[in-house]
Amino acid sequence: MKLHDLGFQPSKADVSLFFFNKGGVVIFLLIYVDDIIVVSSSPDATSALLRELKTEFALKDLGDLHYFLGIEVKRSGEGILLTQEKYTNDLLCRAKMSSCKPMNTPMYSTEKLSAFARDQLGPLDATQYRSIVGALHATRKCTLGNAPKSLQ
């Protein structure tokens, strides 16, 4: 309710995202569990918002954003780069594939697969497989191809 009182509107695209747009000041606020990301057109407005939120909530300013939900934030003179390089490398290590050589297609396109040809995955292998496929699915969701046309 505090955000509403401060003039923030909930996003229709994401229940965790709120925005403020008044008097030339734009602020986006993303809340995920106990983490908050604030992006603003005005450093003064950001400071005022954080001061106001600190009156009701225990906040700790961790400074500039570097890593959030598997997305690494890199700043340069040209702007901001969002990458999943660390997340992907960690995933390759978890799958014991960090030393594998890259290929366009990791198996023959003519290969015939069968559930009965070889031993099936055991319970631990199946759990690890699902976990890695789920993590790969998360990386696919964050590629630029899925971004709005205005960002491409």
In degrees and rounded to multiples of 5, residue 30 shows phi and psi of: -110, 125
Domain-located, residue 114: no
Same structural domain for residues 80 and 126?
A: yes
Are 53 and 39 in contact, with CB atoms under 8 Å apart? no
Same structural domain for residues 46 and 74?
A: no
Same structural domain for residues 3 and 72?
A: no
Same structural domain for residues 16 and 49?
A: yes
Same structural domain for residues 69 and 137?
A: yes
- Domain span at residue 91 reads 64-100+121-152
**Euclidean distance between CA atoms 7 and 126, whole angstroms:** 48
Residue among 115, 88, 6, 121 at smallest CA distance from 55: 6
pLDDT by residue for the chain (152 residues), tens digit each?
Answer: 688 889 999 999 889 999 999 999 999 999 988 888 998 999 999 999 999 989 888 888 888 888 888 888 888 888 888 888 888 889 889 888 889 888 777 777 787 776 666 666 666 777 888 888 888 877 765 554 444 444 43
- The amino acid sitting at 8 is F
Domain termination residue (choose one: 45, 62, 79): 62
Same structural domain for residues 133 and 71?
A: yes
